[in-house]
Structure 1
Amino acid sequence: MLREFVEKKHYLFAKEAKDWEDAIIMSCKSLEADGTVESNYAHDIVECVRKYGPYIVIMPNIAMPHSQEGAVGVNKTAIGFMKLEKPVSFDPNDPEKDAQLFFTLASCNPDQHLNNMMRLSEMLMNEELVAELLKAEGPEDLLKLQEKYLDK
C-alpha cells in the first residue's frame, strides 16, 4: 500500500497546516492532481466534519478524511497519504483528536474500496509501522517501510 502511494504520487509531506480545514484540503491535493477526485471533494469533507464533528480522526495522530461513498466529484477509488510534521487539532479540548497522518479515501467502486479499507486497517494495527510513519520525511521512507513491514 505504501508503494502505491509513491507510484501513484498520492502523497504529500508538509510542515504544517494552518488548521484542520486546511489539512483536509491539503490531504486531497495529491488525489486531485491526477483526477481521482475533483476540487469540490475536499470541501465536501470539510462540511461533513463541521456537521458531524471530527469523525475522521480514527485514533490519536491518524485521520481518515472521506465523504460518503459515491460522493460527487470522485472519479476513481484510491487512498492518498499525507504526513504533517506538526499535528493539527480537530478539537482543542481533546488532544486525542490531533492528527499528523492522513489517509484520504476516495470511493466509487465498493469492492475495491472495501479491499483498500482492509489493507489500510491491517497496516494501522501495526504500532511499530505507525510510529515509523510518524517519523517519515519523504517517499523514500514510505518505500523503506513497505519493504520492512508489508512485503512479507
Structure 2
Amino acid sequence: MLKEFVKQGHYKFAREAADWEEAVRMSCETLERDGTVESNYKEDIISCIKKYGPYIIIMPNVAMPHSQECARGVHKTAIGFMKLDKAVSFAPGEEDKEAKLFFTLASCNPEQHLENMTKLSELLMNEGAVKALMQAQTPEDLLRIQEDYLD
C-alpha cells in the first residue's frame, strides 16, 4: 500500500496545519493534483465534519478524511497519505481527537474501495508500522516501512 502512495505521488509530508480544516484541505492536494478528485471534494469533507463531528478520527493520531462513496467530484478510487509533524486537533481539549497521519479516501469503485480499506486496516493494525509512519519524513521512509512491516 505504501509503495502505491509513492508510485502514484499520493503522499505529502508537512510540518503543521493551522487547524483541522487546513489539514483536510492539505490531505486532498495529492489526489487533486492527478485528477482523482476535484477541488470541491475537500470542502464536502469539511462540511460533513462540521455536520457530524470528527468522525474521521479512527484511532488516536489517525484520521481518514472522506465523504460518501461516489461523492461528487470523485473520478478514481484511491487513498492519499499525509503526515504532519505537529498533530492537529479536531476537538480542542480531547487528545484522542488529534491526528498526525491522514489517509484520505476517494471512492467510485466499490470493489477497489473495499480492497483499499482492507489494506489500510492491515496497515493500521500493525503497531510497528504506525509508529514508524509517525516518524516518516520522506517517500523513501514509506518504502522502507512497507518493506520492514508489510511485505
What TM-score, normalized by structure 1, do the two folds share? 0.99
2: distance between equivalents of 1:39 and 1:18? 19
Instruction: Report the residue type matching 1:26 in the other structure.
Output: M
Instruction: Report the residue type matching 2:27 in the other structure.
Output: S
Shift, 1:5, TM fit: 0.2
Match for residue 18 of structure 2? 18
Residues 1-150 of structure 1: matches in 2 within 5 Å? 1-150=1-150
Structure 2 alignment gaps of length 5 or more: none
1: distance between equivalents of 2:131 and 2:144? 14
1: distance between equivalents of 2:4 and 2:132? 18
SS in 2 for 1:38: coil
Q: CA deviation digits over 1:90-137, x for unaligned, max 9?
A: 001211000000000000000000000011001100011100100000
Shift, 1:67, TM fit: 0.0
Structure 1 alignment gaps of length 5 or more: none
Q: CA deviation digits over 1:56-82, x for unaligned, max 9?
A: 000000000000000000000000000
Q: Alignment RMSD, CA only?
A: 0.4
1: distance between equivalents of 2:145 and 2:16? 22
SS in 2 for 1:12: strand
2: distance between equivalents of 1:138 and 1:87? 18
SS in 2 for 1:111: helix
2: distance between equivalents of 1:119 and 1:137? 22
1: distance between equivalents of 2:136 and 2:84? 10
Shift, 1:145, TM fit: 0.5
Q: Point out 4+ residue stretches in structure 1 off by more than 4 angstroms.
A: none
SS in 2 for 1:13: strand
SS in 1 for 2:135: coil
Using the aligned pairs only, state the percent identity: 68
1: distance between equivalents of 2:53 and 2:93? 13
2: distance between equivalents of 1:45 and 1:136? 25
Shift, 1:149, TM fit: 1.1
Instruction: Report the residue type matching 1:74 in the other structure.
Output: V
